[in-house]
Amino acid sequence: MSTSVKSAYHHGDLRAALLASAMRMLEAGEPFSLRAVAREAGVSPTAPYRHFADRDALESALAAQGLRDLKADLTEGRTPPTSVADLGELAVGYVEFALRRPALFRLMFGNACDQGSEERVKAAGEIRELLELAMALVFPTGDRQALASAGWALAHGLAYLYLDAKLPAGTRAEIADHVRAAVAAILVPHTG
């Protein structure tokens, strides 16, 4: 068991310790169950049930954490977007998150949002709000919801095309350039 998991648990935050263990196992590609997560966290096999009814509830909590991590990646150290180029940088951040944390990204978006998980619904809503705000800042007279859906679909589609090796991986810089070019191709008006 890792020191951070041990110290989190011994400070009384069992839920955080369980999530940390599950996240580590997920991102390491290890199969996990509530029992395996309990073992990794150094607690009894029944301890996870104090916070998670079943594996689906644990996965929803992991997805919510992933969505919060994604939002942090897209906002921290960035100024609000004012141009299509800035929107391209948001898309680059989105794709880079997917490529850096593929197992978590697939978990976040691999099934329907559990409407019973207030935490997950809130985290997903915050991503949508972030994208709507970004589009409203760049296209103040446009339909912010439609633009956010289109922009999200573009970034999300590119992320999965790279994850599934449908687009050549290339270097990080090459991928970023391709994402920027795709955003510009869709969002910059073309003439003739």
Beta-carbon contacts of residue 182 (< 8 Å; ≥ 6 apart): 91, 154, 158
Which range (51-55, 153-157, 186-190) has the least confidence?
A: 186-190
What's the confidence (pLDDT) of residue 61? 94
Give me the residue spans of the domains in the chain. 3-50, 55-187
What's the confidence (pLDDT) of residue 3? 46
pLDDT > 70? residue 11: no
What's the confidence (pLDDT) of residue 148? 97
**What are the pLDDT digits (tens) for 28-39?**
999 889 999 999
What's the confidence (pLDDT) of residue 2? 47
Per-residue confidence at 1, pLDDT binned at 50, 70, 90?
very low
Residue with the two structure tokens 């800042």: 137
Per-residue confidence at 7, pLDDT binned at 50, 70, 90?
very low
pLDDT > 80? residue 112: no
Report the alpha-carbon distance of residue 25 to residue 20 in Å, rounded: 9
CATH superfamily of 55-187: Tetracycline Repressor, domain 2 (1.10.357.10)
**What's the average model confidence in pLDDT over 69-83?**
96
Model pTM score: 0.89
